[in-house]
Amino acid sequence: MGSYNWGKSDVTDWIHKNIPEGSTCLDVGACDGIWHSWIGPHLIMDAVEAFGPNINYHDLTRKYRKVYEMDIDDFRYSHYDLIIFGDVIEHMDVEKAQRVLAYAWDRCDDMIVAVPYMYPQDELYGNPFEIHKQPDLTPEIFNERYPGFELIKGNDFYGYYHKRR
């Protein structure tokens, strides 16, 4: 599916104001590489994509410095200046999402998490990773399950959160 474009220009502005040019960035669940399209020229970007056909179909190896075909829960890394979980954690059960975000917390200076609210979704395009395992997310539930984040931009159907410094 990829992620929504709503709010990306505001979040892109936020990134340009707060993340120095040339910083390293990990795009988790890169899918079609939309975040690279928005901020790629500003940052040195790597990607993790669990669904291999997306890597080839969207030519991710041309867009990113490195592309890792694996589940983010299995990916081990030391540090990125920014990690983006754009439309990713709703595809994990709560325990896994909390574990993945906790692992990332001390391995990045900044983290952005983007989520749709109240959005059930089944498998799409033969991709079992597209299933929403947290279709019940709301701003209140996000804050309860994932403390330590502040809202950058949101509305009734979508939110962009940043790791509090």
Polymer length of the chain? 165
| Helix residue spans in 6-154 (DSSP H) | 8-18, 34-39, 52-57, 60-63, 94-105, 139-145
DSSP string covering 118-155? S-----BTTBGGG--S-TT--HHHHHHHSTTEEEEEE-
pLDDT tens by residue, 128-158: 777 879 999 999 999 999 999 999 999 999 9
Q: How confident is the model at residue 3 (pLDDT cuts 50, 70, 90)?
A: low
Whether 2 shows a pLDDT value over 60: the answer reads no
| Average pLDDT value for residue range 67-88 | 97
**51, 41, 46, 43: which is closest to 2 by C-alpha?**
51
Q: How confident is the model at residue 86 (pLDDT cuts 50, 70, 90)?
A: very high
What was the pLDDT predicted at 127? 73
- The amino acid that residue 125 corresponds to is Y
What's this model's pTM, rounded to 2 decimal places? 0.94
| Average pLDDT value for residue range 112-133 | 85
Q: 3-24 burial, b if ≥16 CB within 10 A, otherwise e?
A: beeebbeebeebbeeebeeebb
HSE-CB of 70 using CA atoms within 13 angstroms: 10
What was the pLDDT predicted at 1? 46
User: Is the sign of the CA dihedral 40, 61, 55, 108 positive or negative?
Assistant: negative
Give the other-Cβ count within 10 Å of 129's Cβ.
Answer: 16
- The amino acid that residue 3 corresponds to is S
| Average pLDDT value for residue range 97-115 | 98
pLDDT tens by residue, 16-55: 999 999 999 999 999 999 999 999 999 999 999 999 999 9
HSE-CB of 6 using CA atoms within 13 angstroms: 13
What was the pLDDT predicted at 26? 98
| Average pLDDT value for residue range 67-78 | 98
Sequence-ordered list of residues with C-beta below 8 angstroms from that of 9, at least 6 positions apart, any chain? 38
Range 8-163: architecture per CATH? 3-Layer(aba) Sandwich (3.40)
